[in-house]
Amino acid sequence: MTPPEIFAIREGPPDGPGWRIRVIPNKYPAVDLPDLKTPHEIVIETPDHNADIPDYPAEHLRDLLLVFRKRLKEMSSKKDVKYVQLFRNKGARAGASIFHPHTQILALPFIPKRIKSELEFIRAEGLDFERDEGTRTVALEGDFIAFAPYFSRFPFETWVVPRKRRPDFAQTEEKELLPLALLLKKVISALKNILGEIPYNLILHTLKDRDFHWHFEILPRYEGLAGFEVATGVYMNSKSPERAASELRAAIKEESDERRDSQTSD
């Protein structure tokens, strides 16, 4: 039995059958001090125990993004909350302790150092995905772009971002979530086609600062971190982002061609 649900997309009464997406509190919140309690929630993405993002219909993934947006907005409004982190661990190597598909949303009473560093980088450099003449661009959908950053830490690391700088994912309009869902599904499906059933993290960085640029990071974890990376924080990546983007584009095109051929034969 899970704790009582906080929110759900469902038919029927709370905590019963008929749900499509459920949100429950984490039984073991990361921050649980006597004088400080910040929310830590679990989004149970689907009743299907064996599903992953490539298996979701685009409309279901859009609804999942709607839930993310709603919970981020609610949690960030609470007292003591300075930052909210959304993350998804797929597979044991990526940190998953529960096999059923789920995402965690964790509120913190401080802004993590990594986010502050990203903010300073974006202020100074921006997320300039055009200057490489498209060699690191993976795919486009609506007002969103997927690209392999030149500072990639992991082979096939891919970021999905709005093409115009926007700081806060919670302010994304509902009509924009379907193209965003299509792009996320497209990229993760391509990764699966190239690498098979690999562990990965999907994380969202979002901040209420006008200079920030919210983004999803898709981090395949089929290569583990070694002593050098742990010791220095400097990553050795065996796949150049340009090569990774090229292979992902080819996998996306192949899947699109197969889908078109299948529809034509029908």
Structure tokens at 92: 């044991």
Residue 84 contacts residue 61 (beta carbons within 8 Å): no
The pLDDT assigned to 266 comes to 66
Structure tokens at 125: 């450099």
The pLDDT assigned to 105 comes to 97
Nearest to 244 by CA among 132, 135, 129: 135
Place of tokens 């990965």: 200
* pLDDT above 80 (res 36): no
Task: Tell me the pLDDT band of 24, cut-offs 50, 70 and 90.
Answer: very high
Domains of the chain and CATH, by start: 7-265 (3.30.428.10)
Q: What is the mean pLDDT of the chain?
A: 92
The pLDDT assigned to 131 comes to 64
User: Measured between alpha carbons, how far is 83 from 264 in angstroms, rounded to an integer?
Assistant: 48
Task: Tell me the pLDDT band of 183, cut-offs 50, 70 and 90.
Answer: very high
* pLDDT above 90 (res 264): no
User: Measured between alpha carbons, how far is 88 from 103 in angstroms, rounded to an integer?
Assistant: 5
Mean pLDDT computed over 165-186? 97
Q: Could you tell me the pTM of the whole model?
A: 0.93
User: Measured between alpha carbons, how far is 220 from 238 in angstroms, rounded to an integer?
Assistant: 13
User: Measured between alpha carbons, how far is 54 from 24 in angstroms, rounded to an integer?
Assistant: 24
User: Measured between alpha carbons, how far is 61 from 103 in angstroms, rounded to an integer?
Assistant: 12
Structure tokens at 177: 């979530």
Higher pLDDT, 96 or 168: 168
The pLDDT assigned to 102 comes to 96
Structure tokens at 48: 């299907």
Mean pLDDT computed over 169-198? 96
Tens-place pLDDT, residues 215-233? 999 999 988 778 888 787 7
Nearest to 41 by CA among 56, 30, 49: 30
Please, what sign has the CA dihedral across residues 74, 78, 84, 89? negative
Tens-place pLDDT, residues 76-132? 998 889 999 999 999 888 888 888 999 999 999 999 999 999 999 999 988 876 666
Read off the amino acid at residue 185.
K
The pLDDT assigned to 262 comes to 76
**Secondary structure (DSSP) of 13-74:** STTSS-EEEEEEE-SS-S-EETTEE--EEEEE--S-TT--GGGS-HHHHHHHHHHHHHHHHH
Higher pLDDT, 1 or 222: 222
Tens-place pLDDT, residues 131-156? 667 899 999 999 999 999 999 999 99
Higher pLDDT, 97 or 74: 74
The overall longest dimension of the chain from CA atoms, in Å, is 64
